[in-house]
């Protein structure tokens, strides 16, 4: 296992500062190593900033194109620990992901606003997580290029008593009183995902006034997370190839278990983030309800 000093060299941090004071925006890509759209978008942005095609008017921008470089190198979601479930400082880290969390948390500590860029396993459209729907986060969310936003993640995990496992990047940022959003830019392999990520970045820069321009406004429907399922056995499987945000009716079979039993949807809703190949013990899929305006 590498020591913290060498990991600091592995996690590349790019900082840009304007001459005028203003907020500090922090953006992560590849917290999960197989989610590369944020990396591509941030690499493009860095190039534009270095050539002067984009110039900061005020404030500071801090970007980490690859937040989990070891998993990224192996094209895996994570190696030992899911970085976005253990995202908090640790005095005695037991994995490279935990050591990365120590480094990344220090970056969150000194920002004003934080955007975490991800992608999803199943086919589906881009969407947003608003885990902490403060007025400031909702105002920022309206600039994101999505049609759906999910709320209720922290509340669901408290209900499921898995709060320790769900200590993610925006939970940490909110605890430190930062504006924070997490965007899922579509399926990992979707060729449009980097463009979605880049638009989300540009609109964030506009929104906080770091660069000249006006963020386009978007309307979105909110989906509240109501149930979550974790894979219990390797032979458990989905009855079909669920898509993200696919509607499901109450009583429809969600999961077929290794022992022959089935788990049925407890209400009419939509599938959220199904991962057919999730390891045993990982979150597998969620269910939500669309909130009517």
The pLDDT value recorded for residue 164 is: 46
- Cut 0.75: pTM above it: yes
Q: What tokens does 228 get?
A: 């979550």
Q: Pairing mode, if any, of strands 253-256 and 127-129? A: unpaired
pLDDT in tens, the chain (293 residues): 344 444 545 899 999 999 999 999 999 999 999 999 999 999 999 999 999 999 999 999 999 999 999 999 999 999 999 999 999 999 999 999 999 999 999 999 999 999 999 999 988 899 999 999 999 999 999 999 999 999 998 888 888 765 445 689 999 999 999 999 999 999 999 999 999 999 999 999 999 999 999 888 888 899 999 999 999 999 999 999 999 999 999 999 999 999 999 999 999 999 999 999 999 988 899 999 998 65
DSSP state letters, 14-45: EEEE-SS---EEEEE--SSTT--HHHHHHHHH
Domains defined for the chain, CATH in brackets: 4-207 (3.40.630.10), 225-290 (2.40.50.100)
Q: Are 207 and 143 in contact (CB under 8 A)?
A: yes
The pLDDT value recorded for residue 3 is: 43
């Amino acid at each position: 296992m590498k020591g913290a000093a060498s990991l600091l060299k592995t996690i590349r941090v790019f900082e840009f500062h304007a001459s005028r004071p203003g907020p500090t925006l922090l953006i992560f890509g590849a917290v999960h190593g197989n989610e590369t759209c944020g990396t591509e978008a941030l690499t493009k942005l860095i190039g534009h900033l270095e050539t002067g095609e984009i110039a900061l008017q005020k404030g500071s921008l801090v970007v980490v194109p690859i937040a989990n470089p070891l998993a990224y190198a192996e094209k895996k979601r994570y190696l030992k620990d899911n970085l976005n479930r253990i995202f908090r400082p640790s005095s005695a880290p037991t994995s490279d992901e935990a050591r990365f969390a120590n480094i990344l948390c220090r970056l969150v500590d000194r920002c004003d606003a934080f955007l975490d860029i991800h992608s999803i396993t199943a086919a589906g459209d881009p969407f947003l997580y608003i885990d902490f729907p403060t007025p400031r986060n909702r105002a920022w969310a309206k600039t994101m290029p999505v049609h759906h936003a999910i709320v209720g993640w922290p509340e669901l995990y408290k209900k499921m008593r898995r709060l320790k496992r769900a200590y993610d990047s925006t939970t940490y940022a909110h605890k430190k009183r930062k504006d924070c959003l997490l965007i899922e830019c579509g399926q990992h392999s979707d060729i449009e995902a980097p463009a979605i990520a880049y638009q989300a970045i540009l609109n964030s820069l506009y929104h906080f006034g770091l660069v000249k321009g006006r963020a386009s406004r978007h309307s979105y429907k909110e989906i509240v997370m109501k149930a979550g399922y974790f894979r219990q056995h390797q032979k458990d499987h989905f009855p079909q190839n669920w898509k993200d945000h696919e509607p499901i009716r109450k009583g429809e079979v969600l999961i077929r278990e290794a022992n022959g039993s089935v788990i049925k949807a407890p209400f009419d809703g939509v599938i959220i983030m199904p991962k057919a190949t999730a390891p045993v013990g990982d979150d597998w899929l969620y269910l939500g309800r669309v909130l009517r305006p």
